[in-house]
Copies of this chain bind each other. A is one copy, B any other.
């Protein structure tokens, strides 16, 4: 994987880049829609392509439990299984294990947890999550970390941060042994997306074609809670181990927004300039703009898709709860300023009716619009960076 910075903003830490992955190029800053179980809820893959999605996130925890990583590996990997030829990032599974309260606990060795589906017992170590993610065949995979809760005692934050460091080292070691063992990707059962004929037919994958099977890039995660000292130690350790990219974890977990921005900026400043930076689980459209200007390149969040299913859409005038009765007779689009396929075709009144009637199309149309809003926001930020107008763009967003 190669990260190419094509422009930087003069008045902030923002940069525009190109992430060259084994499966295609991602223009950064980029937002990754969340496809938890190998599908972005309510969207067909064709709609995601139409929206211009360049990279998806999928959850290792969910796919590991169902349908099982062996099933996906045997189907040629996640690209082939879900018929998604563009880049995919998988998380480590650790966050889900810990956020499904009471199901898991961290030991030095890893996470022991019970399935939320059937109560069966499982174990996820730093080595194991790399093994599973290699089998899933994503383009970017994540090291196992322990996310610090908010609020947390200094001792708890320190303990989790140190554990994250030791796990990162083990993940890196296992990764190197596996992908460099001459074994490489393929003999370990790692699918090579470029060898899948269905994806080649679709004409997306491997552009340009790779003569050699590509190995996924491993990202490390910086923790440290809200303590700048711990953030600094964690960043130093993770960077010292060395990864293809760096994620900032443990933010947007309940701390005040100003703290999120400030810690993202502080932590990003400790990471190597030439590597991509991924702020996990963030956030609102305003968060994206603010954090790009603080040096972040990649984002993921369930907000656009989850809010859509609840009848809440993002517009140029702010949030709009389209399921409210007040929109029942409004013959205007969700966002009159939006040019997406939903806003060109459907009225608020119709979409409100679909929500009231419990129709699937309600969630489908709202999700499509919200994803377009997020992706379009990122495209506009990127264009502003490249054209040197980011400060003006920030002013207009901040109002």
Q: Is A346 an interface residue (CB 8 A)?
A: yes
In the assembled complex, the CB of A117 is this many whole angstroms from the nearest CB of chain B, namely: 9
In the assembled complex, the CB of A308 is this many whole angstroms from the nearest CB of chain B, namely: 11
Q: A83 contacts which chain B residues (CB < 8 A)?
A: 345-347, 350
List 12 A-B pairs, Cβ < 8 Å.
A37-B354, A39-B361, A42-B364, A62-B357, A66-B353, A67-B349, A67-B353, A67-B356, A75-B347, A75-B349, A83-B345, A83-B346
Ranked 7 nearest A-B pairs via Cβ: A67-B353, A39-B361, A37-B357, A42-B360, A83-B345, A39-B359, A83-B346
Q: Check if A71 sits within 8 Å of B329, measured CB to CB.
A: yes
Q: Check if A359 sits within 8 Å of B45, measured CB to CB.
A: no
A41-100 contacts to B (CB < 8 Å): 41-46, 62, 66-67, 71, 74-76, 81-83
Q: A360 contacts which chain B residues (CB < 8 A)?
A: 39, 41-42, 360, 363-364
Q: A159 contacts which chain B residues (CB < 8 A)?
A: none
Which residue on chain B has the smallest CB distance to residue A330? Answer: B75
A37-B357, A37-B359, A42-B364 known; 20 other A-B pairs, CB under 8 Å? A38-B353, A39-B359, A41-B360, A42-B360, A62-B357, A66-B353, A66-B357, A67-B353, A67-B357, A71-B353, A74-B329, A75-B331, A75-B349, A81-B347, A81-B349, A83-B345, A83-B346, A202-B345, A360-B363, A360-B364
In the assembled complex, the CB of A232 is this many whole angstroms from the nearest CB of chain B, namely: 41
Q: Is A292 an interface residue (CB 8 A)?
A: no
In the assembled complex, the CB of A111 is this many whole angstroms from the nearest CB of chain B, namely: 22
In the assembled complex, the CB of A62 is this many whole angstroms from the nearest CB of chain B, namely: 8
Q: How many copies of this chain does one complex carry?
A: 2
Which residue on chain B has the smallest CB distance to residue A202? Answer: B345
Q: Check if B350 sits within 8 Å of A38, measured CB to CB.
A: yes
Q: Is A365 an interface residue (CB 8 A)?
A: yes
Q: A75 contacts which chain B residues (CB < 8 A)?
A: 329, 331, 347, 349-350
Q: Is A328 an interface residue (CB 8 A)?
A: yes
Q: Is A105 an interface residue (CB 8 A)?
A: no
How many A residues touch B, CB cutoff 8 Å?
Answer: 40
Q: Is A198 an interface residue (CB 8 A)?
A: yes
A184-217 contacts to B (CB < 8 Å): 198, 202
Q: Is A270 an interface residue (CB 8 A)?
A: no
The answer for the CA separation of A359 and B198 in the assembled complex, in Å, is 23
Contact of A349 among B71, B349, B350 (CB under 8 A): B71
Q: Is A156 an interface residue (CB 8 A)?
A: no
A26-44 contacts to B (CB < 8 Å): 37-39, 41-44
Q: A62 contacts which chain B residues (CB < 8 A)?
A: 357
In the assembled complex, the CB of A120 is this many whole angstroms from the nearest CB of chain B, namely: 15
Q: Check if B361 sits within 8 Å of A71, measured CB to CB.
A: no
Q: Check if A361 sits within 8 Å of B328, measured CB to CB.
A: no
Q: A76 contacts which chain B residues (CB < 8 A)?
A: 331
Q: Is A341 an interface residue (CB 8 A)?
A: yes
**Contacts A81-B347, A83-B345, A350-B82: A42 and B361 contacting too (C-beta < 8 A)?**
yes
In the assembled complex, the CB of A280 is this many whole angstroms from the nearest CB of chain B, namely: 23
Q: A71 contacts which chain B residues (CB < 8 A)?
A: 328-329, 349, 353
In the assembled complex, the CB of A329 is this many whole angstroms from the nearest CB of chain B, namely: 6
**Contacts A75-B349, A331-B75: A361 and B66 contacting too (C-beta < 8 A)?**
no
In the assembled complex, the CB of A115 is this many whole angstroms from the nearest CB of chain B, namely: 13
Q: A46 contacts which chain B residues (CB < 8 A)?
A: 341, 345
**Contacts A42-B361, A75-B329: A345 and B198 contacting too (C-beta < 8 A)?**
yes
Q: A364 contacts which chain B residues (CB < 8 A)?
A: 42, 44, 360, 364
A150-179 contacts to B (CB < 8 Å): none
Q: A45 contacts which chain B residues (CB < 8 A)?
A: 345
Q: Check if A67 sits within 8 Å of B328, measured CB to CB.
A: yes
